[in-house]
Amino acid sequence: MTVTIHDGTSRSLMKMLREHALDFVIGRASASLDMTGLQQEVLYYQSPRLITNRELAARLGQRRADWRHLAELDWILEPAPAPLREQVADMFLSAGVVPPQPLIESLSAKLTGEIIAARDHVVSIVPNDIAEELVRIAGVAVVPWSLQWTLSPIALFSLKDRHKRDVDTRFVQSLKDYCIKHRSAYSQERYQY
């Protein structure tokens, strides 16, 4: 068995899956994905976290979420039409606020963390597990707010009509077992609200 990992957007990875260049894709489920000929199994859910530099996080954490004020800050967001970007826009729209245009569009968590740690007034929303990692490696801070929604689930995608080999079945079961065992690391609420 050979394991090769490809990093990319859900759309580009789904294209590779359809071309039989990949056996499985682990990615964020979204209503905007073309699921023709594909099947998915939800692996886990994530909670979103607002991250920024330590000073701004301390100031924001002293008050309630104000979406108008947040829209005035500089944002780092995933490129459209990424599912997380769509959910952030929906969050602003449901608060009656025009979604902010990003200062930077990036899929790189590392780059996002480095820019946020180095600049004032820059924020982003990332999954809880990514936020925890960026706190450790980039020195960002998590604003202690509950955003009251969950991100679209992380799912395992495969072709519907693909012949299932024994190695595929064992891989999928091992992945599911791992996700169940580590579920709390992805969604655990660690902050006081």
Within this chain, do residues 87 and 53 fall inside the same structural domain, yes or no? Answer: yes
Question: Which of 100-109, 121-130, 165-174, 176-185 shows the lowest mean pLDDT across its residues?
Answer: 176-185
Within this chain, do residues 57 and 89 fall inside the same structural domain, yes or no? Answer: yes
Domain carrying residue 178: 10-45+153-182
Encode pLDDT of 129-175 as tens digits: 899 999 999 999 999 988 878 888 899 999 998 888 888 889 889 99
Is 28 inside a domain boundary?
yes
Within this chain, do residues 158 and 96 fall inside the same structural domain, yes or no? Answer: no
Query: What pTM was computed for the model?
Result: 0.81
CA–CA separation, 76 vs 145, rounded Å? 18
Is 190 inside a domain boundary?
no
CA–CA separation, 106 vs 58, rounded Å? 25
